[in-house]
Amino acid sequence: MNILQFLRIFWARRNVTLAAMVATFIGAFIVVLIVQPRYEATSRVLLNMLVRPDPVTGEVMNARGAGPFIDAQTELIKDYSVTGRVVDQSGWLSDPSRIRAYSRRPASDTRDFRRWLAQTVADNTVVKVIGSGTVLEITYKGPTPQIAAIGAEVLRQAYLDQSLAVRRDAAAKNAAFYSKQADAARALADTAESAKAAYEKSTGIIMQGRDTDLDSDRLASLSGQALAPQMAAPAPQSTAALQLAEIDAQLAEASKRLGPNHPEIIGLKAKREAIGRVAAQEAAASRAMMSGQAGAAAISRALQEQKSRVISQSEQVEKLRQLQSEADLRREQYRTASAKAGQYTVEAAVTDTGLAPLGVVVTPAKPAFPNKPLMMGGSVVLGLAMGLALSLLLELLNRRVRSVDDLQLSDEIHCIGVVEEPTGNNTGRKLRRALRGLLPQWVGAAT
């Protein structure tokens, strides 16, 4: 069949096509009149943590963590923790119409009223990422423009409030944990300092720093004096005297902030007593050397005595080093835990979550559904397509000969003539005959 045969069929069945178009148009018109309109309002949130450092921690989110973070934020907006806030702030728990709708729910629905309303909010919410991935667009659907606009604004604020609450709660838990760890580390540090001070007092060995003790320092000093040439100049102040002055300064400073029975005060006093004895011995030896009573023999004798003393107390010195290391470790743990606790305490009081509202919510001027021009125009197109399809179906069920082309059943059967019906005064018939005369091969007239 050629295109002209289809056109003849459609023209002959034009009433069917017209009826289908009218029917679909009327149906669309009725739907537009009775369907509940749906308005959509949008609000936007700027994700500042993706473009600038965190104001508290100073951290910047990298590109690898941005995707999972955005997915988590998208799910959080529809989470019950956020939608429940929307229900509370909108006052829906006391709305009679919603109470009646809740009472008509299916018996299989066992959700409470607040969760049922929160699910309604989640169903009417659409979240998507726009721009370069730094802006979240929240769309809320409502039956009126005002409800849609208020819903979008309340939903955005609830999301910001929940994000701040989540960050504060997590920081508060971490602060409490590290505060507890800091208290435990401080107790262990005090115990280690007390054990070290008691061991120094019992052995009379004083650690200088972390690796050497006072007797080893004195041995090094005597070795230097024995190797150095004797000079007439006055001897410099001994190491023990300098250390004694430093301990006095530390003791005076610690006494201002600590009690007399504090382990640190007790340790400093024990260290001062031991160093005081060594300083007195060094002062006596220095005076002896300056007066010419001992000379090189006195220095050599003192050096040998100091060597014997250092060798005899090597085990106690090693034990004291271990105690010193333990005390240093506990102090470092206390400082680290205290710093973490302070950081999380500050973060628990933060007011900036790295999220910021972007722009204002605009009340929609027209509904997003139904789109009246689209539905009415689409109904006409749909009716036309249905009418044409129905016309072809009717033609196939009840085939008719409408032109010479319809008689070309095979190559062996030919049309030898066309008998025209009398025209009379029928204007339509006259017009069709004139058209066939002008275009005989197109309209199927005999040639």
Phi-psi map region of 301: left, alpha, beta (phi>0 left; psi -120 to 50 alpha): alpha
CB atoms under 10 Å from CB of 67, counted, come to 11
Closest CA to 193 of 337, 334, 336: 334
According to DSSP H, which parts of 124-144 are helical? none
Cα separation values, 245 from 177, 236, 240, 253, 402, Å: 41, 15, 9, 13, 127
Sign of CA dihedral 286, 291, 296, 298: negative
CB atoms under 10 Å from CB of 253, counted, come to 11
DSSP state of 247: H
How deeply is 256 buried, as exposed, middle or buried, from its count of CB atoms within 10 A (0-12, 13-18, 19+)?
exposed
CB atoms under 10 Å from CB of 317, counted, come to 17
Q: Do the Cβ atoms of 376 and 29 come closer than 8 Å?
A: yes
Helices and strands in the chain, H and E counts: 15, 6
Cβ-proximal residues to 399 (8 Å cutoff; 6+ apart), any chain = none
pLDDT of residue 373: 87
Closest CA to 44 of 153, 164, 165: 153
DSSP state of 300: H
Closest CA to 420 of 440, 394, 392, 396: 440
Q: Do the Cβ atoms of 54 and 354 come closer than 8 Å?
A: yes
pLDDT of residue 390: 92
The alpha carbon torsion through 320, 321, 326, 331 (nearest 10 deg) reads: 100
pLDDT of residue 4: 74
Strands (E), 98-244: 125-130, 135-142, 207-208, 212-213
CB atoms under 10 Å from CB of 284, counted, come to 10
In three-state secondary structure terms, 420 is coil
Query: What's the average pLDDT block by block, 10 residues per block, for the chain (447 residues)?
Result: 75 88 92 87 89 74 77 92 94 92 92 94 93 88 92 94 92 94 92 84 66 58 56 53 79 78 76 76 66 56 62 70 85 92 89 86 86 88 93 82 62 66 63 58 44
pLDDT of residue 431: 67
CB atoms under 10 Å from CB of 298, counted, come to 13
How far is residue 3's CA from residue 5's CA, in Å, rounded to a whole number? 5
Report residue 28 as tokens: 């669309």
pLDDT of residue 99: 94
How far is residue 295's CA from residue 312's CA, in Å, rounded to a whole number? 26
pLDDT of residue 381: 94
